[in-house]
Amino acid sequence: MRPNCNNSFVVASKWLGVVLFAVAISAATPVPTGAAERSTGPAAVAPAPKTDIPEQPFPVGPETRAFPSSIDISPFERLRFAGVPERIVSLTPGVTETLFALGIGPRVVGISRYCDHPEQVSTLPRVGSFLSPVIEAVIKLEPDLVITSPSPGNRNAVEALERAGLRVEVVDEGSASLDTIRASILTVSRLVGRDLEGSLLLDRINSAVNTVQARVSELSKPRVAVVVGYEPLVLAGPSSYLGELVRVAGGKNVADTLGGKWPRTGLEFLLAASPEILVDASMQEFDQDEVGTITRRWARFPLVPAVADGRIYGHGGFLLLRPGPRLAEQALLMGRYVHPE
Amino acid sequence: MPARSANAARLTRSELRRSLLLLLAATVVTCIAGALVGTVTLDLAEVWGVAGTDRTIFVSVRLPRVLLAAIVGAALAVAGAALQPTLRNPLASPDIIGVSGGAALAAVFALAVLPAGYGGMGQYLVPMAAFVGAAVASALVYQLSLVHGRLEPYTQILVGVIFNTFAASLILLVSAVVDMSRTHSIVFWLMGGIAVHPYPVLGLVALLVGVGTAVLVREARTLDLLSLGDETAEHLGVDLGSSRRRVFAAASLMVGAVVALTGVITFVGLIVPHLMRRILGSDNRLLLPASAFAGAIFLVACDAVARVAIRPAELPVGAITAMVGGPFFIYLLRRRSTAGRDL
């Protein structure tokens, strides 16, 4: 007699795997327009003194500032300190990683339940997720900046935080491509007044990506499948950062023919595509023997070349599932998967 | 329930007033208690004293959430209390007249296609879609339930149930084709939960619920007569058709308004009226307002549990209401069947 209730549960359980993945790579966001404007538009970064920073010699930051100044406080510094947030709550794993990579980890006072890198975050208070932050807990941390991801489901939470007087910035984590990840890193670095570190970080990422690309340019292009959801089967499509990483690593993504970001498909498609390399990034829980578990899972399809050759790989302790500043490591890992030689 | 009916018949105006004042007091106490517990332990001195973080949390997060829980609980329970006699079915609840199915379907469509816009009215696009969905669904169920121009209770229950199942299958379909990053917003909405909304929105919903409750309470006498059977009631001068229509419209309005904000929260509208009927008898003049208060108490309490059970994370309140409500409802059913009594 209570079909609505029952069927909600069916929906919930049926798509739980999908949801877990989606949450694991955080907002993932194909979400168009509004959010992007907000995160990348000049208005969003107004408080940060972005134009002045490149003139400052590296390293920056009050602790390590190298240049002596004859005056107590330069106009530039005033600007910098007026706009730079001191207590940051990050609700997205990628943003948390970016903040630490920019060297302002100590200013992060709260993180999401999915943030797992770098190690220092393990002691920070967790305040829910980007989709459902625990509003009271966020306010209690007294942050002067909250960064979250755009999602149609978190409008209400964002507005509630703003009503409580907090500054909330919505930054797309950029899971669509390497460029969107780069844009996300730049946006975050501007928000926290670390433009220079941001561009240095991007230089490092770009050179690693270029190295991988140069190394594989002359090599063959094996067929690669990146599984991001096992039941139902979801692959990394050409318009996802994982799809682009496969291209960078010199592979041919079997999901290219499906198109899109995270196309759903069936086992038959995957078997027919006969991937030579299978990256199964669908494991949701931490597993010491991740590769072993995945290998056993696929052992029932011995005719797939990847299975026959034992070329089955995992997400490397969630590394592949975190669009963010570890792009260099991700490119190297994918490179090793596709062209171990 | 002959003994109870006799009791109810002797319910005087002052007894009625005394019971309702008692329930009102209990509701206020529960709301205060609910506002004092939460994820963060508040320093009461700071809440009443100077403006600070604790005060901000209390005023802009804790209080609106508790008030919304009270409004939603009251709306669902009073709608259930009125629908059970109207549809002459003990399983009648706000969930089976199609309203919540329609609201859920519209909300899911909105979550599937809307951009994640922030600021302005953006956050109310989904609730507004859900409210429109609820209105369309109840109009549809109403039209389909007319038999020879009359609202037929059994037909209405069947149509409502089938409509909900149909809506649920469409929701599955939408979830299956929509981009994966939206799927979790959808599942999250379907779980139902009390969010934090600004006071003007609470005021608007309270107004809609108040109007709906007033309409239902005015029908209390008619609902009492309905328990005698359609024919007897008509002989006693009840205009069954228009009465059922008013109950249905008022219940749809209230449930649509609250479901639009909270998603589907089950069991409140089912078990609270049953519990109150057991305690207070089936005089609808008392039962309807009493159910409203009891529903408010129940949902405020469940939401408090949802907020503190696994601090600092939160549980979906729908899980708590169903966890408490499911076993309790079975218990009620068993007691009723061993006692050999009907509703």
Please list the pLDDT of chain A residue by residue as tens digits (341 residues): 344 444 444 444 444 444 445 444 544 433 333 333 344 334 443 444 433 444 333 333 333 333 333 334 444 443 444 467 999 999 999 999 999 999 999 999 999 999 998 999 999 999 988 888 999 999 999 999 999 998 888 888 999 999 999 999 999 988 889 999 999 999 999 999 999 999 999 999 999 999 999 999 889 999 999 999 888 899 999 999 999 999 999 999 999 999 989 998 999 999 999 999 999 998 877 777 888 888 888 999 999 999 999 999 998 888 999 999 999 999 999 999 999 87
Single out the residue of A331, A328, A324, A329 nearest to residue A114, CA to CA.
A324
Q: Do B195 and A160 touch (CB under 8 A)?
A: yes
Instruction: Say which residues have a Cβ less than 8 Å from residue A67's Cβ, sequence separation at least 6.
Output: A56, A57
Which residue is it, tokens 């829910």? A128
Q: Could you tell me the pTM of the whole model?
A: 0.80
State the Cα torsion B97-B99-B105-B111 to the nearest 10°.
-160
Cβ contact A102:A198 at 8 Å: yes
Q: Both tokens of residue B12? A: 């005087």
Q: Tell me the chain B residues in contact with residue A132 when contact means C-beta distances shorter than 8 Å.
A: 188, 193, 314
Q: How many CA atoms lie within 13 A of B140 on its CB side?
A: 20
The residues that bridge with A235 in the sheet, in sequence order, are A227
Do the chains contact at A139 and B183, CB–CB below 8 Å? no
What is the DSSP code string of A66-94? -S--SSSS-HHHHHHHHH--SSEEE-SHH
For residue B335, the one-letter residue type is: R
Interchain CB contact of A13 with B (< 8 Å): no
* Reported ipTM exceeds the 0.95 cut: no
Cα separation, A176 vs A181, in Å, equals: 8
Q: Are strands A108-111 and A88-90 parallel, antiparallel or unpaired?
A: parallel
Shortest alpha-carbon distance between residue B215 and chain A (Å): 26
Residues B227 and B220: their CA atoms lie apart, in Å, by: 11
Strands B146-147 and B150-151: antiparallel
Residues of A in contact with B126 (CB under 8 A): 152, 155
Which of B84, B181, B188, B201 is the best mutation test for A, with the most CBs of A within 10 A?
B181
Cross-chain CB nearest to A262 (options B40, B123, B179): B179
Distance CA B218, CA B229 (A): 19
Q: Which residues of B touch A113 (CB under 8 A)?
A: 313
